[in-house]
Amino acid sequence: MTQKQVADKLRVVESCYANWEQGRTEPNIEMLRKLGEIFQVTIDEIING
């Protein structure tokens, strides 16, 4: 999935999602929940790898 596709699913701009991936900013808890749903992982897996 591209950054744009994920950003569209989250309803955020692509640069916002790119900043999360690059560690410049962090998503809030609601976005972590949505990311977990998209990638079918737990929030713990997102945070701790």
- What does the pLDDT look like over 1-49, one tens digit per residue? 999 999 999 999 999 999 999 999 999 999 999 999 999 999 999 999 8
Question: According to the model, what pLDDT value does residue 38 have?
Answer: 97
Question: According to the model, what pLDDT value does residue 20 have?
Answer: 96
CB atoms within 10 A of CB 6: 19
The Cα–Cα gap between 32 and 15 comes to 17
Question: According to the model, what pLDDT value does residue 23 have?
Answer: 94
Domain count of the fold of the chain: 1
The model's pTM is 0.89
Range of the domain at 38: 3-48
